Amino acid sequence: MKLFEKIKAKKRQLMRFLFGSFSATALMFTFQACYGMPPEEQSSIFGVVLDAETQEPVEGIGVYIEGAFMRDTTDHAGTFGDIEPVFVASGWSHYQAHLWDTDSTEHGLYEAQITTLSYEDLHAPIQLTVNRVHEDE
Amino acid sequence: MKTNRRNPLKRWLFRVFRRNETEIHELNYLFWECTWRCNLSCRHCGSDCKAESHVVDMPFQDFLHALEPLEKRYKPYTTTIAITGGEPLLRQDLAACGRALRQHGFRWGIVTNGLLYDEARHRELVAAGMGSITVSLDGLEATHNWLRNNPHSYQRALGALRLIAASGQLTYDVVTCVHQRNLLELPQLKEVLIENGIRHWRLFTIAPIGRAAANGDLQLTRPQVEEMFRFIAETRREGRIDLKFSCEAYTGDYEEQVRDSYFFCRAGINIGSVLINGDISACPNINRSFVQGNIYQDDLMEIWDQRFQVMRQRDWMRCGPCARCRDYRQCLGGAMHLRSAQGENIMRCLAVR
């Protein structure tokens, strides 16, 4: 019985995904209660982390953006991001991107750092850089 | 041009979508009736609020505590908290409440009459992470002030809207309750809104509930309802302002012309509320006989999961005029706030055929 319920739940979620994937029906998800205010705008946040010196993409860098509820780790192409809509708090004067090395020396050792972004920055592909820790330091 | 009988495939898909959403019933939109105090005494008020309410405001910590199970269940950005009342701006701790909601990951906004919304309050609320707002404007100056029973109400509401639209920081709209006195003013009001940089507008009719039930003149006649739909449809075609009819009722032949999507009453399906005394329901304007629980005794998500059947299985709505209606399949008996109790007939139907 439990298995049957699980299959039904999966089917419902799949149907939801299919409906949401077609632009003609996407509006159905952005409803507003008849006596409420409109839904807040959402956006996807994505970008790339580059080595500050070589401008090459860096894998294994953790990225957390305060105010945007986005946490990810860069892949082999240095990219990070959320494919799901991310809420961005429009009222904040600035946003802080926290970067840290998640895999130690595996893809080079990098310093942890904090970069300040504007609201506008979050609505375009974000480019962040990290400083490599050289072995002789 | 009426289009209801077109797009049968689209209408079928919509019904499949609606059935699926009803089965999933994810709580995405939660009203918080934070106060019953109000600084106006509107002739059409659906909740019958008063300037000096004997009911004390709900302590924010009580509401926040009730949200804990919801926070565990869903991703934060999927739930919007709509702070309503009464007049939410009367709460001095509104920004502090909003900031805390934001820190917990919830999106939030307010529905206001705009009387207390000035630049300082705007900055304070935006800094607290408010993301959306709705302000009421019910006609040109004389009509709005008459309906709102306050000589300064129009200027204050328009001032608030100008501020909000110019800031570009908020998702917003202006709502207008359409009645017999302001129906013919709608074209002029449209120009006023456009001149003031306001781009999002939503029209309501006045439901015969609360104080409005005793004001029969506020209800539109059937030809007037159709006139309003025609105005909305023409304005949408014109494209100078984003105008829509609220999702308060099925509109019959105008379904595809007055809104972005078909009528879907999501009360108890995606919309819940925590009322001033802690009662758990759907939209706050729904008759209080439909209350499903209370946050002071129950777990919000347990109530959401295990009750609300009255709103998710609406076969009981197929009574009275709905029993014989050919559009029942599409409309499902209309909006919950138009039923005074389970088993009661719909108070009024706006469908035009």
Tokens of B130: 């408010």
Helix residue spans in chain B (DSSP H): 8-24, 60-73, 94-103, 119-127, 141-148, 153-167, 186-195, 222-238, 300-306, 309-312, 328-331
A53 and A98 both lie in a single domain: yes
For residue B282, pLDDT over 70 is answered with yes
A2 and A69 both lie in a single domain: no
Encode pLDDT of B304-321 as tens digits: 999 999 999 999 999 999
Higher pLDDT, A126 or B213: A126
A30 and A50 both lie in a single domain: no
A75 and A19 both lie in a single domain: no
* pLDDT for res B261: 86
Task: Please indicate whether, in this complex, the C-beta atoms of B46 and A35 are within 8 angstroms of each other.
Answer: yes
A25 and A92 both lie in a single domain: no
Q: What is the rounded distance in angstroms from the CA atom of residue B300 to the CA atom of residue A8?
A: 24
In a domain, A3, yes or no: yes
In a domain, A135, yes or no: no
* Mean pLDDT across A93-97: 78
* Mean pLDDT across B136-152: 93
Name the DSSP class of A79.
E
Q: Which residues does B7 contact at the CB level (< 8 Å), separation at least 6?
A: B256
CATH code, A119: 2.60.40.1120
B86 preceded by a cis bond (ω within 30 of 0): yes
Distances from the Cα of B331 to the Cαs of A51, B17, B219, B230, B352, in angstroms? 57, 14, 21, 20, 12
In a domain, A137, yes or no: no
* Mean pLDDT across B125-153: 91
Contact criterion met (CB below 8 Å) for A50 and A65: no
* pLDDT for res B3: 47
Give DSSP secondary structure letters for B149-185.
T-TTHHHHHHHHHHHHHHH--SEEEEEEEE-TTTGGG
Encode pLDDT of A116-136 as tens digits: 988 777 767 788 999 999 766
For residue A137, pLDDT over 70 is answered with no
The number of domains in chain A is 2
Task: Please indicate whether, in this complex, the C-beta atoms of A33 and B248 are within 8 angstroms of each other.
Answer: no
In a domain, A28, yes or no: yes
In 10 A of CB A21, how many CB atoms? 9
Percentage of chain B lying above the pLDDT 90 cut: 71
In a domain, A136, yes or no: no
In a domain, A100, yes or no: yes
In a domain, A2, yes or no: yes
* Mean pLDDT across B4-13: 78
In 10 A of CB A114, how many CB atoms? 11
* Mean pLDDT across B290-295: 97
At CB < 8 Å, which residues of chain A contact B?
12-13, 15-16, 19, 24-25, 27-28, 31-42, 69, 84-87, 89-93
Encode pLDDT of A15-66 as tens digits: 777 776 554 444 555 577 778 898 876 656 778 899 999 999 999 999 988 7
A53 and A120 both lie in a single domain: yes
A80 and A13 both lie in a single domain: no
Amino acid at B166: A
Query: Computed from CA positions of residues B134, B135, B139, B144, in that sequence, does the dihedral angle turn out positive or negative?
Result: positive
Amino acid at B77: Y
A32 and A46 both lie in a single domain: no
A29 and A60 both lie in a single domain: no
Name the DSSP class of B128.
T
* pLDDT for res A23: 47
pTM of the model: 0.81
Task: Tell me if residue B229 falls in helix, strand or coil.
Answer: helix
Q: Which domain holds residue A23?
A: 1-36
A86 and A115 both lie in a single domain: yes
A50 and A106 both lie in a single domain: yes
Distance to chain B for A10, nearest Cα, Å: 10
For residue B257, pLDDT over 70 is answered with yes
Q: Which positions in chain A touch B173 (Cβ < 8 Å)?
A: 37-38
* pLDDT for res A58: 94
A59 and A117 both lie in a single domain: yes
Question: What ipTM is given for this predicted complex?
Answer: 0.81
